[in-house]
Amino acid sequence: MSQHRADIAAGRLSKAEYADNFADLHPALDDHQALVEADRCYFCDGAPCTTACPTGIDIPMFIRQISTGNPKGAAATILRDNIMGGMCARVCPTETLCEEVCVRNDAEDKPVKIGQLQRFATDTLFAAGKQIFEKGADTGKRVAVVGGGPAGLACAHALARQGHAVTVFEVRDKLGGLNEYGIAAYKTVDNFAQHEVDYILGVGGIAVEFGKRLGADVTLGQLRSDYDAVFLGLGLGAVNALTLKGEEMAGVLDAVDYIADLRQAKDLSTLPVGRRIVVIGGGMTAIDIAVQTKRLGAEDVTLVYRRGKEFMKASAYEQELAQISGVKIKYSAKPVRLLGEGGHVRAVEFEYTQALAKSLPRTGSGGERFTLEADMVFKAIGQKFVAGPVTGGNDVLELEGERIAVNDDRRTSLPDVWAGGDCIAGGQDLTVSGVEDGKVAAVAIDTYLRGGAEKRE
pLDDT of residue 394: 87
In CATH, the number for domain 239-379 is 3.50.50.60
pTM confidence score: 0.94
Q: What separation in angstroms does the CA of 104 have from each of 40, 49, 101, 174, 440?
A: 9, 11, 8, 40, 31
Residue 233: closest CA among 446, 424, 40: 424
pLDDT tens string 327-355: 999 999 999 999 999 999 999 999 999 75
Q: What angle separates helix 71-81 from helix 114-127, to the nearest 10 degrees? A: 100
* Other beta carbons within 10 Å of 19: 11
Q: Is the pLDDT at 362 greater than 80, yes or no? A: no
Q: Is the pLDDT at 255 greater than 70, yes or no? A: yes
Fold adopted by 142-237+385-449: FAD/NAD(P)-binding domain (3.50.50)
Average pLDDT, integer, range 375-382? 97
Q: Is the pLDDT at 143 greater than 80, yes or no? A: yes
In the three-class reduction of DSSP (H, G, I as helix; E, B as strand; rest coil), residue 141 is classed as coil
Best CATH choice for the domain 31-127 from the list 3.40.50.10860, 3.30.1490.20, 3.30.9.90, 1.10.1060.10 = 1.10.1060.10
Q: What are the backbone angles phi and psi of residue 353, rounded to the nearest 5°?
A: -120, 165
Model confidence at 357, pLDDT cuts 50, 70, 90, reads: very low
Portions of the chain given CATH number 3.50.50.60: 142-237+385-449, 239-379
Q: Which residues pair with 276 in a beta bridge?
A: 300
Q: Is the pLDDT at 235 greater than 90, yes or no? A: yes
The secondary element (H helix, E strand) that includes residue 373 is strand 363-373
DSSP letters spanning 392-434 = STT----EETTEE---TT-B-SSTTEEE-GGGBTT--S-HHHH
pLDDT of residue 301: 98
Average pLDDT, integer, range 386-412? 95
DSSP letters spanning 309-364 = GGG-SS-HHHHHHHHHTT-EEE-SEEEEEEEEETTEEEEEEEEEEE-S-TTS--EE
What does DSSP say about strands 142-146 and 229-232: parallel, antiparallel, or unpaired? Answer: parallel
Number of alpha carbons in the 13 Å side-chain half-sphere of residue 349? 13
Q: Is the pLDDT at 286 greater than 90, yes or no? A: yes
Residue 116: closest CA among 23, 57, 38, 193: 38
Average pLDDT, integer, range 145-172? 98
Residue 388: closest CA among 402, 407, 367: 402
pLDDT of residue 428: 87
pLDDT tens string 302-320: 999 999 999 999 999 999 9
Q: Which residues pair with 239 in a beta bridge?
A: 383
Residue 55: closest CA among 128, 114, 133: 114
Strands (E), 31-80: none
Portions of the chain given CATH number 1.10.1060.10: 31-127
The secondary element (H helix, E strand) that includes residue 222 is helix 220-226
In the three-class reduction of DSSP (H, G, I as helix; E, B as strand; rest coil), residue 8 is classed as strand
Average pLDDT, integer, range 134-162? 98
Q: What angle separates helix 71-81 from helix 59-67, to the nearest 10 degrees? A: 170
